[in-house]
Chain A
Amino acid sequence: MTSYILKGGTLPNGEKSDIYIAGGLVAQIAGTITDPGASSAKKIDIAGCMVLPGLVDLHTHLREPGREEAETVASGARAAAKGGFTAVSAMANTFPVADTAGVVEQVYRLGQESGYCDVYPIGAVTQGLAGKALAELGAMADSEARVRVFSDDGNCIFDPIVMRRALEYVKKFNGVIAQHAQDPQMTKDSQMNEGVVSSRLGLKGWPAVAEEAIIARDILLADHVKSRLHVCHVTTAGGVEIIRWAKARGIQVTAEVTPHHLLLTDEYATSYDPIFKVNPPLRTKSDVMALREGLADGTIDIVATDHAPHPAESKECEWQVASFGMIGLESALSIVHATMVETSLMSWNDLADRMSYAPARIAGYEGHGQELRAGSNAHLTIINPTLSWKVDRDLGVSRSRNTPFHGMEFPGSVVATFFRGEPTVLNSQLVPSKAQNEI
């Protein structure tokens, strides 16, 4: 294993330090590295760059098994590394569904083989994501993949009895239920946020209350059975308000927001370009502002990408025919940088918390989300905050091109990512997998 000295970078707390990486760990952080073993280390000048703990995504669609033309575990892991992630969570809505120990172990193993980041499978809550019968949650928890986060994402667990039982059952192994909050009856055939824009465009509306009613119900259920609820992709000001209320009462609820909901509004649907079609839908400007405020004050715990790759034909069509979803692994950090740090709503320390410490803590990913200090795992993300870049869908690492940010310019380019003490990205380029072990 090669050892490295990263020279002249800035830590999230603003301190300038050199970082010595050896044996997969951060061996020393100091103004001058004094470790006797460091003399043979490879020196990398990162003056002017920011060093963050490796990013952790709690909501990623990797499409394997079953939809490999859109993404594989390996291609998704590479896209994750390019975006500065060292751990991602593979959602369960694959074909077959990740509702058995066999499937989650397969996904876990494919992640390990990729070598670009840790891939933690999320298990389905119900068999086939059908919302009726519980999947074998215990078997998935005890499997090699050690699943702790369960979600029917894409589908809402609508039956309150099923939701209650799931919340109760996972207490046995300190699991958490990540709910996709969407009342299916209120959103049948819905296409976009219900409001002034949907009314003008004649696209069937998706009311905020369809999300908020489920969030409120689940919070009350989680309180009742004293279990842990995680609310996926909150999009409405009302949802933020309900979660704020729940946290004030000490209810064990955590929540995530996606980069696209921090930036884009339903006005983008005016183009009828389904690149902006996503579930849950883009909301209004006042929702975006409430989400930013909620993320800044900690009501919303984390940013999660909801990276959702789709093949070209799923978006080259009428809005109503198109699939929901957008990719986001490679642009997430820059969007949070632009919407939260450049706006002075959050510090770099806050960003490290929302994109690394907190998601790892919620999901129980030991070894990730550690503060940078001697002895911690060497999962690092290094960005040049002054280097802006333009999103080009044709230059992405993901197998799919369905980014809504094509042509937009963002601050903060990922210069390097270190995973287990080795670079997966160096000089802003993905390190080729074969060479990776030889560096």
Chain B
Amino acid sequence: MRHLLSASDLSYAQTLSILDTAQEMARVSEGPVKKLPTLRGRTIVNLFYEDSTRTRISFEAAAKRLSADVINFSAKGSSISKGESLKDTALTLQAMGADAVILRHPASGAAHRLAESQWTNGSVINAGDGTHEHPTQGLLDAFTIRKHLRAGIGDLRGLTIAIVGDILHSRVARSNVILLSTLGAHVILVAPPTLLPLGVETWPAQVSYDLDATLPLVDAVMMLRIQQERMDDLFFPTAREYSHYYGLNNNRLKLMKSSSIIMHPGPMNRGLEITAESADSARSVIVEQVANGVSVRMAVLYLLLAGSPDEDGVLIS
């Protein structure tokens, strides 16, 4: 495996292998020496066409803990407005000897284009492409769920996980639906009909318009960020009405199983899709998701750059 572009690139065995490796990485991060020499001498480029401090820092920390050299290349705005094409930027990075490019881009499919072009020889990791996918976010969410609800072992069979909000525009939702179903979880997508994509019935997930009816069933609920401009495009009438039907609040917390957890990929709109009480409640694992992000990204970098896993996804012998 050379690139990570979509959660669908990962088999069941590979997914489990990444989660297991991430667990080892987490142990390293908790130890006195937080660094492994694995990627010494390798160059990893963070190529970010969108602002995303959280994801960039997470990848940077992951790469540095594996002793790689990290170059941060932040193209404010897009290649469109900058004038330089993705091709020319990629050729420049290739000339600098990048072993891996971590790409965040507003255009869906940008990571595919980079990986399938002849513009770079390095591995390409999709760190979020438009409204398509964000596979390492899916992995860190699965890691977090497994840690809390499966004691960090095995897959997610038997668990029910709701993803709530703007499914239509969410790359996090797309990666999670694929990844969680790969791991055997039952996924319920909850949103107003306007924010569900056409053909969603073909996805490996159940669909509901009713959050209150869904919450008692779930082991984990994942709240998605709602962007202001969606309201302007008439996807829902007002922020107040959205919160009323789809926001996670104190009353809704009471509908959930006591063992269930609350997740959010961040950044949150407190008061819109999630209230402060919910976000800060004992069941919230939102802050921990960030920490797990580093471990999972270490595992992915390790898999792509150091490991040579066979078909069964065996990483560490």
Contacts and interface: CB of A to CB of B under 8 A. Distances in A.
A202 B133 contact: yes
Given A198-B198, A199-B199, A317-B86, A271 B107 contact: no
A273 B80 CA distance: 17
Contacts of B106: 320
A202 B132 contact: yes
Contacts of B109: 201-203, 272, 318-319
B108 A203 contact: yes
A317 B116 CA distance: 12
Indicate the member of A200, A320, A321 with the most B CB atoms within 10 Å: A200
The interface size bin for chain A is 20 to 34
Interface of A: 191, 194-196, 198-205, 207, 271-273, 313, 316-321
B131 A272 contact: no
A406 to B, nearest CB: 15
Nearest to B49: A318
Contact of A272 (B113, B174, B198): B113
B42 interface: no
Tell me the dominant secondary structure on chain A's binding face. loop
A195 B199 contact: yes
A121 B165 CA distance: 51
Contacts of B283: none
B205 to A, nearest CB: 12
B200 interface: yes
Contacts of A198: 197-198
Contacts of B273: none
B285 to A, nearest CB: 26
Main secondary structure of the interface of B (DSSP, over half): mixed
A196 B87 contact: no
Instruction: List the 8 shortest-distance A-B pairs measured between CB atoms, nearest first.
Output: A272-B109, A202-B132, A199-B197, A196-B199, A202-B131, A202-B108, A318-B107, A272-B112
B85 A316 contact: yes
A320 B106 CA distance: 9
Nearest to A191: B108
B112 A271 contact: yes
A196 B198 contact: yes
Interface of B: 79-80, 85-87, 105-110, 112-113, 116-117, 129-133, 171, 174, 197-200, 202
Contacts of B130: 202-203, 320
Nearest to B171: A202
Contacts of A191: 108
B174 A319 contact: no
Identify which of B116, B117, B132, B197 gathers the most chain A CB atoms within 10 Å of its CB: B197
Nearest to A205: B198
Contacts of A319: 107-109, 113
A199 B200 contact: yes
A66 B171 CA distance: 40
Contacts of A203: 108-109, 130-132
Nearest to B80: A321
Nearest to A203: B108
B119 to A, nearest CB: 9
A194 B198 contact: yes
A207 B110 CA distance: 23
Which of A271, A317, A318, A319 has most B Cβ within 10 Å?
A: A318
A191 to B, nearest CB: 8
B59 to A, nearest CB: 21
A319 B79 CA distance: 12
B129 A202 contact: yes
Nearest to B170: A202
B116 A271 contact: yes
A318 B199 contact: no
A107 to B, nearest CB: 31
B107 A201 contact: no
A201 B171 CA distance: 10
